[in-house]
Amino acid sequence: MRYRWMVALLLLVSQIGLAQGRVVTELVANWKFQKGKQDQAYQVNFNDKAWQKVTVPHDWAIYGPFDKEIDKQVVAIEQNGEKVASEKTGRTGALPYIGEAWYRNEFTLPHYKKGQKVLIVFEGAMSEPRVFLNGQKVGEWAYGYSYFYFDITDQVLEGKKNILAVHLTNQGESSRWYPGAGLYRKVQVIVKNKESIDQWGTFVTTPFISGELAKVNIKTKVSGDRVRLLTQVMDAQGKVVAADSTSKVFGREFEQNLAVQNPQLWSPEKPYLYTAVTKLYVGNTLKDEVTTRFGIREISYKPNVGFSLNGKVRKFKGVCLHHDLGPLGAAVNKAALRRQLRILKDMGCDAIRSSHNMPSLEQLELADEMGFMFLAESFDEWAKPKVKNGYNRFFDEYAEKDIINLVQATRNHPSIVMWSAGNEVPDQWGAEGVKRAKSLQDIFHREDPTRPVTVGMDQVKATMASGFGALLDIPGLNYRTHLYEEAYKTFPQGFILGSETASTVSSRGIYKFPVEKGIDKQYPDLQSSSYDLEYCNWSNVPDDDFVLQDDKPWVIGEFVWTGFDYLGEPTPYDDNWPSRSSYFGINDLAGLPKDRFYLYRSRWNTQEETLHILPHWNWEGREGQTTPVFVYTNYDSAELFVNGKSQGIQKKHSATPQNRYRLMWMDVKYEPGTVKVVAFGKDGKAVAEREMKTAGKPYKIILQPDRKEISADGQDLSFVTVSVVDKNGVPCPKATNQLAFSVKGKGTYRAASNGDPTSLEMFHLPTMKLFSGKLVVLVQSIKEAGTMELTVKGKGLQSAKVTLTSVQ
């Protein structure tokens, strides 16, 4: 391989200014919003009094309603192997994201003095933003997923009110999933001195690491003459462990090498973080200060060895994630992201692919802190379209600029271990596609020589023939398990990455009979079976990937499609209304685990016990009929009992991939009562057991918050799982009761989700039906500490209350 990627990278998790002269203001409140064409809305004296008051991040489309006519696409989805066009009603979520909208905000900068620089930074604006300040256009961008900034020094007013206006346009047929709409990520105004550190101008790497010493290389781009740079590296306790001061500047860039003794290395198991504090001086006057959080770690990709982190070979246990947060839509929320990562951590997941676009900076910050390796992706399209109004319209003008911003804004995050230049791009065919792949990879290499580049390839035969796959640093295969061997022999890299795997479909708590593997299976209720044996014509069940990961040392890991359900792309029901969200998730849209969660957990979480039984045991009308029982466990054998009668002992074996990873009793006859499984250790002795019972009628509501204490910042959330039990406390797995929610005290009701991909109930309204006996309610803090009480009621049910606390 041409590149031996031996790197340890560290990255900016925040550039919050602490020094005189640099002030970062996040524009959260005081926004006014109006959807529709508004002539002259950029002008200072425009009358916006009747506009809606919102906070940013904001997604205007998530408030609905769902409507099958929204972005109805009559297409044949080539990625799904379709040859004939059909009507797709829920492909982009059936939510009203299409159209124009304006945001306006008034702000003052009391700390700003003439002669300073002012930047405005957008971390995501969906989409095609045009930005105006005080009636003047300051810039525009195209890609809704890109971070970008403008210098607004010439437009900003000193000591006066500034009027910011942002115009957004979302076209139909511009996405293959729900893109969201609006200013869905942070907006910041940065005031700094003329002599200052450039935006995203710090680049930290660790080119040498041993047990005793790490070399920390820091390159810093600056503006200003006769400047001096002081950098201090602090450990996690805030102790200074290295420092350097220099006046030697090459062009506009300083380069410093600092020695950290006895370095603590970053890994998913121990995500240790250091902080570099960089101060810029003119003489003895401090002009600017930036903090950069980073980790010390080494990555390596070698032929026939695979991927190594800090000298240890390992395989990615990863998932793909779209950017929406279920009932919150695309509006970024750190509490919701943290909850997702906690759930994935419990499953044993150690890696994330941002599909198919730039990740939020909040997600990367949490990945650094919580220990997740990251595959940061850029595009779903290049020059050739997948959808009529997709990124292909902007590729020639913006691709390089978007990659530069992605890399410069995120390259200090130790979690990022590779870049992706694209996903299943139609450009995989032909010589022009090969040239584009090389050109994009070269841009990544130029901006960051320390990390390799991949592309998620689904046209594997074509990329083997054209040389497309051979030129990539890392050949990524999306599905195509039957081509892994041939690709490994054909490509020169000496390893293969499962850049997208499985795409198994299921609905939480829904089971279909007979139990058998099925391709593109459909049912009248528009659900998929949670026996985890149904998949698409282009994909497979999880066990097929497990075999490759376990048996082929040259397969370096997988990124499962997907960690959570997401809005839009409701395969296999994308031509059936009212399906409007995906079935691919290991967890549903509410973040509740499906059965498949425990299948992956039984392999990936090697520290904790997994012993999970499916299906539920409420099958009135199926008495005496065959009702197979599966057990997902990290034990090799177990015995199953139905009402005390043994159904025999099952052991994992290699007759089929399913027998290798699941314990399956295929001939169990249903009878109400108790199902129990007893697991055995390697010595044949019983070591664990689980049981489930047939439930009676729904009787009482149960509330289980993920956190009882949250921050009083107006953004933090507690996710409260709501379920129903019978008089004996047995969960009712088929309950569909309509529930109502209310919150009083120092908090508000934010949203709810039940994980049903066919539900047309709006998330923000305080009522929803249970789906498979559960749903989740989101309670949000206000900017005042105290207690809040959530009450949940349902007709004929004993209601429930839970008290939460918010603290400053």
Residues labelled as active-site residues: 424, 500
In contact, 103 and 56? CB cutoff 8 Å: yes
Contacts of 148 (CB under 8 A, 6+ apart): 121, 122, 139, 141, 405
- Phi, psi of 761, deg, nearest 5: -70, 140
* CA 553 to chain CA mean position, Å: 28
Checking 534-538 for CB contacts under 8 A at 24+ apart, the result is 534/504, 534/505, 534/506, 535/502, 535/503, 535/504, 535/505, 536/80, 536/503, 536/505, 536/571, 536/572, 537/80, 537/81, 538/79, 538/80, 538/81, 538/458, 538/479, 538/503
Rounded to whole angstroms, the Cα distance separating 183 from 128 reads 11
Closest by CA to 474, choosing from 504, 495, 450, is 495
At 498, list the tokens. 């499962």
Query: Using CA of residue 598, residue 602, residue 607, residue 613, what is the dihedral sign?
Result: positive
Greatest Cα pair distance in the chain: 88
At 389, list the tokens. 């109004």
Rounded to whole angstroms, the Cα distance separating 149 from 423 reads 26
Side chain identity at residue 219, one-letter code: K
Cα(first)–Cα(last) distance of the chain, in Å?
A: 53
Cβ–Cβ contacts within 10 Å for residue 238, how many? 7
* Angle 289-293-299 from CA coordinates, rounded to 5°: 140
As beta bridge partners, residue 188 has 26, 121
Contacts of 324 (CB under 8 A, 6+ apart): 177, 178, 180, 330, 566, 567
Convert 296-318 to b/e letters by CB count within 10 Å (16 or more is b). Answer: bbbbbbbeeebbbbbeeebbbbb
Rounded to whole angstroms, the Cα distance separating 431 from 648 reads 59
In contact, 466 and 434? CB cutoff 8 Å: yes
* The residue count for the chain: 808
DSSP H or E stretch at residue 690: strand 686-693
At 464, list the tokens. 């083997």
At 217, list the tokens. 């290389």
In contact, 90 and 580? CB cutoff 8 Å: yes
DSSP H or E stretch at residue 74: strand 73-75
Cβ–Cβ contacts within 10 Å for residue 796, how many? 8
Quick one: 602 exposed, middle or buried, by C-beta within 10 A (0-12, 13-18, 19+)? buried
Rounded to whole angstroms, the Cα distance separating 328 from 351 reads 23
Task: State the number of CA atoms in the 13 A half-sphere of 165 facing the CB.
Answer: 23
* Angle 275-20-288 from CA coordinates, rounded to 5°: 55
Rounded to whole angstroms, the Cα distance separating 782 from 808 reads 10
Convert 195-219 to b/e letters by CB count within 10 Å (16 or more is b). Answer: bbbbbbbbbbbbeebeeeebbbbbe
Contacts of 312 (CB under 8 A, 6+ apart): none
CA-atom Rg of the chain in angstroms: 27
As beta bridge partners, residue 214 has 209, 260
